[in-house]
C-alpha cells in the first residue's frame, strides 16, 4: 500500500523535482561540470542556503540525477525482457531510450564527472541492467566451448563472485554492451550524420552478428 505523504513531504518532493529539472537544463546548456546549486537557487528565486535543505551539495544532486537515469533505463530494459524481446530488439529499445534524452544517456555513459564518485546504490541499479543482459544473452541450447575470454574472466574474482552466469554468457553480454555503446556514442556525437545512413540498421547488424 502506498504511504500517504504529508503536505510538507509533498512540497519537498515538488521542490526536489524542480531542482532536478533546472539541473538537466544546466547540463544541456553547459555540461554537468558546470552544474551549480547556487545558479539553480537563483533561477528558482531561492537563497543558496535554502536550496541546500533539499540537496546537501552538488554530488548529492548528481547522484539523484544518475539514480533517476539508471532507474529509468533498468525499468525499460526489464519491461522489454519480460515482454519477450530478442537481443536485436532489446538493442533498439535501449537506443530509443538514449535518443529520447541524450543528456540523460551521456550523464551515465559519457565522460565521468571530475571529482564525483557514485555510491554503491548506483552500482546496484546498473547491475540490474547487466542481469537482464545476462538473461537475454544466455544460450538456450547450452553454452559453447570456452574461449580466450575465460582466461580474462578468471583473473577477476569479483566478477566471478558477482555474476551468476557462465563465462561464454558473460562474454556475449559484454560484447553486446560494448557494440551497443560504441554505436550509440558515435551516433549521439553526430559522427554518422554526414554519412547518410540509418545508425539503427548498423546497430541491428552489429548485434545480430553476435
Among the CATH numbers 1.10.357.10, 1.10.10.10, 2.120.10.30, 1.10.8.60, which is that of 66-208? 1.10.357.10
Q: What Cα–Cα distance (Å) separates residue 123 from each residue in 70, 73, 97, 101, 201?
A: 9, 13, 20, 21, 31
Can you tell me whether residue 141 is helix, strand or coil? coil
Domain with CATH 1.10.357.10 in the chain: 66-208
Question: What 8-state DSSP symbol labels residue 166?
Answer: -
pTM: 0.83
CATH topology of domain 1-56: Arc Repressor Mutant, subunit A (1.10.10)
C-alpha span between 204 and 184 (Å, rounded) = 12
Domain with CATH 1.10.10 in the chain: 1-56
pLDDT tens, residue by residue, 11-25: 999 999 999 999 999
- Residue 169: count of CB within 10 angstroms of its CB: 20
Confidence grade of residue 26 (pLDDT, cut at 50, 70, 90):
very high
Amino acid at each position: 500500500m502506498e504511504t500517504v505523504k504529508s503536505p510538507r513531504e509533498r512540497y519537498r518532493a515538488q521542490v526536489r523535482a524542480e531542482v532536478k529539472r533546472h539541473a538537466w537544463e544546466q547540463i544541456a546548456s553547459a555540461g554537468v561540470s558546470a552544474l551549480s546549486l547556487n545558479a539553480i537557487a537563483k533561477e528558482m528565486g531561492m537563497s543558496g542556503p535554502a536550496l541546500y535543505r533539499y540537496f546537501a551539495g552538488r554530488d548529492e544532486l548528481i547522484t539523484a540525477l544518475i539514480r533517476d537515469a539508471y532507474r529509468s533505463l533498468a525499468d525499460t530494459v526489464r519491461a522489454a525482457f519480460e515482454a519477450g524481446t530478442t537481443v536485436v530488439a532489446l538493442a533498439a529499445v535501449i537506443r530509443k531510450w538514449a535518443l529520447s534524452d541524450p543528456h540523460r544517456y551521456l550523464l551515465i555513459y559519457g565522460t565521468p564527472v571530475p571529482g564525483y564518485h557514485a555510491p554503491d546504490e548506483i552500482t546496484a541499479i546498473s547491475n540490474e541492467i547487466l542481469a537482464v543482459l545476462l538473461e537475454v544473452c544466455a544460450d538456450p541450447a547450452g553454452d559453447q566451448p570456452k574461449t580466450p575470454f575465460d582466461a580474462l574472466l578468471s583473473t577477476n574474482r569479483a566478477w566471478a563472485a558477482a555474476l551468476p552466469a557462465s563465462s561464454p554468457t558473460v562474454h556475449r553480454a559484454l560484447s553486446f554492451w560494448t557494440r551497443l555503446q560504441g554505436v550509440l556514442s558515435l551516433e549521439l556525437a553526430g559522427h554518422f550524420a554526414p554519412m547518410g545512413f540509418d545508425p539503427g540498421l548498423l546497430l541491428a547488424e552489429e548485434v545480430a552478428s553476435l
